[in-house]
Amino acid sequence: MDKKNTAIGVLLLVAAMLAFYFSAKFSPPPPKPVIPSTPVTSPVATNAAPAAGPAHSPADTTLSAAQPASNAPAEYVTLGNDFVNVRFTTAGGAIDHVELKKHSATLDAHGKPSDARYTLNAPQAAPALSFGTLPGADKDARYELVSHTANTVVYRIVVDGKLEVTRRYELLGGTAGDPYQIRHETTFRNLTAQALPLPRTSLNLGTAAPLGPLDTGMYVNAGYYNDDGTEFIRRDELAGGGFFTSSPPLPFMDKIAPVTWAAVKNQFFAAILTPDEPGVGLRIERLKIDPLKPVEDRSAYAITGELLVDLKPIPASGSAKWSATYYVGPKEYSRLSATDHFKKNEDKVMNFAPFFFNKIFLSQYVGPGMIWLLAKVHSFIPNWGWAIVVMTILLKVVTLPFTLAASRSAKRMQKLMPLIQESREKYKDNPQKAQEAMMRIYKENKVNPLGGCIPILITMPLFIGFFAVLQGAAELRFAPFLWAVDLSAPDTVYSFGAVTLPLLGLTHLNINILPIIMGATMIYQMKLTPTAPNVDPAQATMMKFMPWMFALFCYNFASALALYSSINALFSIGQQMFINKMPEPQLAGAVGSDGLKNVTPKKKR
């Protein structure tokens, strides 16, 4: 395979990663849409037997526009199982935070997972599932604790003597659901003798914070899913700025569309709210969680969101219910794709295809297939690092026929270049005849001009899909491999301290071994690759510096990604040595005096 085709393959991979990387850092935010006043969907109101309560005149059947915040301290109840501890609060009758028992918050001084558990929605904008715009029953209200058992808790509040709001939560598990799921039901009961209108309201999704100082924000986002697919908004899209132009930060962003489920997430964890009836939109906000950091430091910000819901008027002395399932836990595809507990494509939160091409193919087939195969390899090799090594080699072996086909085509093209140049020179004043001569050369020598590129385009989605899987698999968090204590972070062996290189996303100057190995192997591979004749000097210079650029931009990537790229490059070196020993292709002939004859001798009929 000549350097041109190698460069095409590497450029596609670099472009895919850098497009995602730089769009996360410099893309200006879209304009804030206007919230339409027309409802899209709402829960169904149900009649109930009249309840005892004060009667109100028709003119007195609306809730007060605002209610004073309660000064009473919040009280807490914790429900738990083997996987989570969920702390509920009387503030909003909602979820204060969720502690994940199977996931450590940090590594200790010895590089082992610490005893501190990772906690979602701490710090927070508001209690998760609290109402944002329901006067008297929102996050500032103090609900009454009605009851709680080992796996349920019930809160209640009465607003203006007109509306009773009862909120029930059940921690699922076993046959009832996934142990990270919480089943929620809010019942609105009209205490008046007239229909009671309710405003458009919202429910807080929770807060997703970056996982560490090296988290640049490309993984911290909020989004939703409906029949048209998924849309995720990165935290930094609300930060303003831009690469060529500057725009002010947005206080929030609204997405008005049917919402099957909505989520906030970081690299490895997600909070997913799946209502029984679709919501009408999503509000997204950027939240500063570290007051000690300057406002321009993007690592000081988390993201939060609210699911927008329209509520119909409640009939006189009637009631209405709003129900949903809330998942708070790791982004594990094997868990989220289990359709007995997740029935509305919640596995799409994995977002396997963050790149700019072939998104549907990667999301639906390549990404899930890659993570399934990686899990199978890990079941035989119980170390995620070695599983990645084996998986990378398997991919190279499977794609070897396409690589060899591309190399054979490239070698034939390289052999034909003198003939093509000769025909171009001979017919430089007649482009049409020069083109005919060139096509005849291709035909007689059975060469497809695109033959070196097509195999690369076939194999590239597999490698990009595997790359996307490795950057978001929760299983890799704190997984050790050789000297790397955490495959989800750079394999730093020494740090020189803090630096500021924002264009490269570097905040610390570290020595990371795997990216250095990756860069060295790519440079050696490029030297092994034969240079095509008559290569443009600018192109030759670009190919010469490409491995250096690639290693530089990947220097702070997770060690799982650097390991994958290093093994891929090492295998490619052996592959290139084999290709270089392949016999030279035999051409059919040379260009004749008219450019069309003597390409191959033809038999007379």
At residue 354 the predicted structure's pLDDT band, cuts being 50, 70 and 90, is low
What does the H/E/C string look like for 240-256? Answer: CCCCCCCCCCCCCEEEE
Residue that is written with structure tokens 């087939």 in the block = 365
CA of residue 473 relative to chain centroid, distance: 10
Give the whole-angstrom CA distance, residue 257 versus residue 2.
49
Segment 437-451 shows an average pLDDT of 74
Segment 445-460 shows an average pLDDT of 69
pLDDT recorded at residue 338: 86
Quote the strand ranges of 243-313, DSSP E: 253-259, 261-265, 269-275, 279-288, 301-309
pLDDT recorded at residue 319: 93
More confident residue, 127 or 217: 127
Residue 227 pLDDT exceeds 90:
no
At residue 40 the predicted structure's pLDDT band, cuts being 50, 70 and 90, is very low
Residue 436 pLDDT exceeds 60:
yes
Pairing of strands 269-275, 229-234: unpaired
More confident residue, 562 or 239: 562
Quote the strand ranges of 380-520, DSSP E: 492-501, 506-512
% of the chain at pLDDT higher than 90: 26
Six token digits for residue 275: 């209502």
- Alpha-carbon dihedral sign for residues 471, 333, 383, 523: negative
Residue 253 pLDDT exceeds 80:
yes
Residue 30 pLDDT exceeds 70:
no
pLDDT recorded at residue 100: 94
pLDDT recorded at residue 81: 92
Render the burial of 493-515: b for 16+ CB within 10 Å, e for the rest: eeeeeeeeeeeebbbbebebbbb
In the chain, the amino acid numbered 228 is D
Six token digits for residue 481: 């491999």
CB distance 53 to 61 below 8 Å: no
Give the whole-angstrom CA distance, residue 566 versus residue 550.
12
Residue 548 pLDDT exceeds 80:
no
pLDDT recorded at residue 356: 47
pLDDT recorded at residue 589: 54
pLDDT recorded at residue 479: 86
At residue 428 the predicted structure's pLDDT band, cuts being 50, 70 and 90, is confident
Residue 41 pLDDT exceeds 50:
no
pLDDT recorded at residue 252: 80
pLDDT recorded at residue 51: 38
CB distance 476 to 558 below 8 Å: yes
Task: Provide the 3-class DSSP secondary structure of residue 351.
Answer: coil
CB distance 484 to 385 below 8 Å: yes
CATH T-level fold of 31-351: Beta-galactosidase; Chain A, domain 5 (2.70.98)
Task: Provide the 3-class DSSP secondary structure of residue 123.
Answer: coil
At residue 445 the predicted structure's pLDDT band, cuts being 50, 70 and 90, is confident
pLDDT recorded at residue 166: 97
Helix or strand run (H / E) with residue 104: strand 94-104
Min mean pLDDT across 190-194, 227-231, 482-486, 522-526 is at 522-526
Pairing of strands 261-265, 163-171: unpaired
Number of helices (H), then strands (E), belonging to the chain: the values are 11, 20
CB distance 54 to 60 below 8 Å: no
pLDDT tens-place string over residues 298-312: 778 889 999 999 988
Segment 343-347 shows an average pLDDT of 89
What are the Cα distances from residue 140, in Å, to 49, 72, 244, 283? 31, 10, 42, 19
Most confident of 113-117, 284-288, 518-522, 593-597: 284-288
Segment 410-437 shows an average pLDDT of 77
Min mean pLDDT across 185-189, 329-333, 463-467 is at 463-467
pLDDT tens-place string over residues 375-403: 899 999 999 999 999 999 998 888 888 87
Instruction: Report which of 363, 366, 365 is spatially closest to residue 349, judged by C-alpha positions.
Output: 363
Give the whole-angstrom CA distance, residue 272 versus residue 206.
9
At residue 205 the predicted structure's pLDDT band, cuts being 50, 70 and 90, is very high
Q: What is the mean pLDDT of the chain?
A: 77
- Stretch(es) of the chain classified as CATH 2.70.98.90: 31-351
Residue 281 pLDDT exceeds 80:
yes
Residue 59 pLDDT exceeds 50:
no
Give the whole-angstrom CA distance, residue 568 versus residue 553.
17
Residue 584 pLDDT exceeds 60:
yes
Six token digits for residue 313: 């008027």
pLDDT recorded at residue 43: 37
Segment 263-292 shows an average pLDDT of 90
% of the chain at pLDDT higher than 70: 74
Task: Provide the 3-class DSSP secondary structure of residue 493.
Answer: strand
Segment 461-485 shows an average pLDDT of 83
- Alpha-carbon dihedral sign for residues 484, 485, 487, 491: negative
pLDDT recorded at residue 169: 97
CB distance 212 to 251 below 8 Å: no
Residue 501 pLDDT exceeds 70:
no
Terminal-to-terminal C-alpha distance of the chain: 38
Min mean pLDDT across 31-40, 175-184, 485-494, 536-545 is at 31-40
Give the whole-angstrom CA distance, residue 568 versus residue 564.
6
At residue 29 the predicted structure's pLDDT band, cuts being 50, 70 and 90, is very low
Residue 96 pLDDT exceeds 50:
yes
CB distance 319 to 165 below 8 Å: no
